[in-house]
Amino acid sequence: MQKDIRVIVVDDHPLFVRGLELLLPEVSGGRAEVVAATGDAASAASLVRRTVPDLVLVDLHMPPPGGVRAIAAIRRSSPRVRIVAMSGDEDPAPALEALRAGAEGFLPKTSEVADVLQPLLSILDGWAVLPAELLGALLGPGRGNRPAPVDLDAPERQLLQLIAAGATTTEIALQLHVSERTVKRLTATLLRKLRVSSRTEAAALAGSAGIL
């Protein structure tokens, strides 16, 4: 049985937060619950540090210092927590900034809480979720539709599949029966081979190229 997933919501829209508090336990079969929330981006990192959640949802469009800075602060103070950015804006620029700041996924946000629940369940199951238009922007001009083919051997494909599934360094080490130091070395080599700079970009490239 999967462990309970503790979620913190950083969002200054009380109705949206309340909707997640009520519906998330129900749609996840009791696996996930909102354990804390704040509408103050400046206090998000300290709340995460005190509460130690598994996942943090951060709205990018919040009063200063804003969602991107909140994500960066959370990543610095709690490097193991998973962070997912949310935005109702169609502009990919803030989402890209959030990914560079340390977010591992992005959810388009609407006024209806139910619209984000299904992709959120995918994130809770370890998948990286990126909308198609953001994927194209992330890969860069000319790469969104036809990524350059990459010749990976079987161990590299297995590592990439684990990365795309959101596995941590520790989980990958256990799966591959190697040390965490070896996982970090193999991951760095794989990122160079894929010509990307982060695990998120590697997962996005793998999905768009059909490697998975």
The answer to whether the predicted template modeling score (pTM) of the entire model surpasses 0.85 is no
d(CA 72, CA 120): 21
Select from 1.20.120.10, 1.40.20.10, 1.10.10.10, 3.30.230.10 the CATH code of 154-209: 1.10.10.10
Using the structure block, give the residue that is written with the tokens 């991107």.
68
What pLDDT is attached to residue 30?
A: 85
Query: Structural domain boundaries of the chain?
Result: 5-129, 154-209
Write out pLDDT tens, residues 46-69: 999 999 998 999 999 999 999 999
What pLDDT is attached to residue 210?
A: 59
Write out pLDDT tens, residues 94-114: 888 888 888 888 888 865 677
For domain 5-129, the CATH architecture is 3-Layer(aba) Sandwich (3.40)
What pLDDT is attached to residue 157?
A: 85
Write out pLDDT tens, residues 112-159: 677 677 777 777 666 666 765 666 666 555 444 444 456 788 888 889
Is there a common fold for 5-129 and 154-209? Answer: no
